[in-house]
């Protein structure tokens, strides 16, 4: 029996970059599809870590572009007991066992979007104000202080210097 080999992501990505592809779906359809998949992955990560961790925990979503394939962007979903240090291309949720509740802590877009939003804060449309709020809190160190507070760290510690 012959086994059909799947093409690698790199091969598919480079083929797509080389071709002039006709779009057969709208940007809205693409966004809805990605959002649906994203939510499914957050829920899957939550269920896995509810079994692993006896206490409250954090779900982190890091978004990364493949260095050799600029049109390939991946989300990495993982759980951890401590709140991470805020960073670009990051979404952080906190799961509280007692309430069985998942709460969004912050969203920090990529470096270029963060800079653009910060520099154009006065003209950001209302539907992006929540992300703008996270961007401004990231820029002024508020998210960093929040992460330290959520981890039970003192305001100033020699191990972690303020930005």
Tens place of pLDDT for every residue, the chain, 163 residues?
Answer: 455 566 665 554 455 445 554 544 444 544 444 567 889 999 999 999 999 999 999 999 999 887 777 777 889 999 999 999 999 999 999 999 999 999 999 999 999 999 999 999 999 999 999 999 999 999 999 999 999 999 999 766 555 555 4
Question: Which residue has tokens 């961790």?
Answer: 53
User: Which one, of 63, 121, 117, lies nearest residue 92 by Cα?
Assistant: 63
Rg, Å, the chain Cα set: 19
Q: Which residues, listed in sequence order, are joined to residue 61 by a DSSP beta bridge?
A: 77, 91
Question: Which residue has tokens 């949720």?
Answer: 93
Neighbouring C-alpha atoms within 13 Å toward the C-beta of 114: 18
Q: How far apart are CA 99 and CA 134, in angstroms?
A: 24
Q: Which residues, listed in sequence order, are joined to residue 104 by a DSSP beta bridge?
A: 93
Which tokens in the block code for residue 133? 């709020």
Q: How much is the pLDDT for 26?
A: 45
Across the beta sheet with 73-80, what order do the strands follow? 73-80, 57-65, 90-96, 101-108
Q: How much is the pLDDT for 62?
A: 93
Q: How much is the pLDDT for 74?
A: 86
Q: How much is the pLDDT for 36?
A: 76
Q: How much is the pLDDT for 67?
A: 79
User: How does pLDDT run across 13-55, given as a tens digit for each residue?
Assistant: 455 445 554 544 444 544 444 567 889 999 999 999 999 999 9
pTM to 2 decimals?
Answer: 0.75
Strands 101-108 and 90-96 turn out to be antiparallel
């Amino acid at each position: 029996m012959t086994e059909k080999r799947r093409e690698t992501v790199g091969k598919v990505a480079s083929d797509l970059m080389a071709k002039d592809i006709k779009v057969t779906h709208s940007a809205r359809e693409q966004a809805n599809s990605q959002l649906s998949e994203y939510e499914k992955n957050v829920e899957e990560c939550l269920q896995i870590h509810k079994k692993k961790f006896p206490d409250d925990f954090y779900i982190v979503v890091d978004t990364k572009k493949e260095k050799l394939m600029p049109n390939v962007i991946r989300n990495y979903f993982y759980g951890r007991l401590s709140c991470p240090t805020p960073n670009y291309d990051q979404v952080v949720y906190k799961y509280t066992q007692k309430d069985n509740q998942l709460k969004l802590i912050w969203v920090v877009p990529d470096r270029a979007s963060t800079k653009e939003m910060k520099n154009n804060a006065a003209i950001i449309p209302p539907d992006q104000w929540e992300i703008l709020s996270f961007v401004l809190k990231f820029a002024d160190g508020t998210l960093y202080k929040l992460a330290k507070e959520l981890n039970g760290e003192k305001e100033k510690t020699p191990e972690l210097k303020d930005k």
